[in-house]
Amino acid sequence: MKLLPIILGSAFAQTQNEILDLKKRTFLQEIELDAILQLQDYIKFEDFNVTQGIIEGLNSYRDDHPDKDNEWGDKAQSLFDFEKSTGRLVRTGGGGLTLADRGHVIKYLQMKIVILFMQKNKFLGKYCFYGCWCFPRGAGNNGGFGQPVDNIDKSCREYSTCYNCIYNQNIGSQRCPENTADRYQIGGFVDRFGQVQIFCTDPWGTCNRSRCECDRDLAMKLRQHEPEWNMQYHHKWGKFQPEETCNFNINEFRTSGKLKMVGNDYVMDNRPYIVKFDMGTHGGGGGGNGGPQSSVKNSMFPIYGPIIGCCGRFPTVHYFRKGQKCCTDGQVTDAKAPCDSDFTQ
């Protein structure tokens, strides 16, 4: 198969061997300043730009991680001039940020670069503040709650699960340090038919490889579902209201007769349910396990108890709860059921 050359930083991939050689390279280490400046134009959508997004993402990150020992607050404007390029931000090591903040910036930028590489129309702001799960609190924040509004939103929910299973210290199968500033290694190419391919090259089982697989999986799904993007689901431009649409309205189920109280449990169609707020825990502020949860609204789950772990291989991972078990094939089922009974949520 003859491959068209594509620039990943300053390297040209013209043959299969050269493409494989890209496995030794790192996106942010290879991309020159001019290339990063060009990404600014790709990322802009309406009034959204990557520098503003980084600030919004870090402010949200600060709110969600009050235990992080560094000063932020009013220093945002002094540390970041909105006119400064993203390239300078990266080259200066995060503009004077702490290690934790630099790690957040690097993860954020690498995720965006991978998504843009896969997109046909290279706009990223359209996926921020989208639906119930696509960065609902701004760029770099991948929490969410409720039922996805479409396949794009569903992909973001799966991405949130993927990240939680890396970084959440309570349920994560790897429990990677969240404040790491490491960059993962990745390569990619476009074949003569215009098909885009991208691959992660860090060793399997490492934190960087798992994070790369999560980003790659999201990028591939967003490319697949890109034509489905609908402005009516955007919080800013379509006036989508997640607090109204994404919440589980328990009163509607009560009045319909489908949901009934039996003791302290909710029962629908003779099956017990618990109703809880299930927000992504990494960068989302509370939720799926151990974090703050609302009382009786929002998402509804079978009454298996709290999330206790992750099941599967990155990027295809699922939560499993108390009363469930993780099968060797990555399937989640009832603790007393055979592994051919799928209870994956």
The CA-atom distances, in angstroms, between 260 and each of 271, 296, 298, 341 are 10, 13, 16, 26
DSSP state, residue 78: H
- Residue 137 Rama label (left phi>0; alpha psi -120 to 50; beta): alpha
Q: What is the DSSP string of 266-325?
A: EEETTEEEEE-----STTT-S-SSSS---SS-S-EEES--SEEEEEEETTEEEEEETTEE
The structure tokens 């004077």 sit at 96
What's at 97, amino acid-wise? L
* Residue 143 annotated in ligand binding: yes
Residue from 222, 251, 13, 9 nearest 118 by CA: 222
Residue from 95, 69, 70, 65 nearest 167 by CA: 65
- Residue 7 Rama label (left phi>0; alpha psi -120 to 50; beta): beta
Pairs from 18-22 (Cβ < 8 Å, separation ≥ 24)? 19/187, 19/189, 20/187, 22/187, 22/188, 22/189, 22/201
DSSP state, residue 84: S
- Measure the CA–CA gap between 35 and 269, rounded to whole angstroms: 56
Q: Which helix (H) or strand (E) holds 12?
A: strand 11-12
The CA-atom distances, in angstroms, between 331 and each of 154, 214, 314, 319 are 18, 18, 13, 10
And the tokens for 219? 């990028």
Annotated binding site for Ca(2+): 143
Annotated binding site: 143
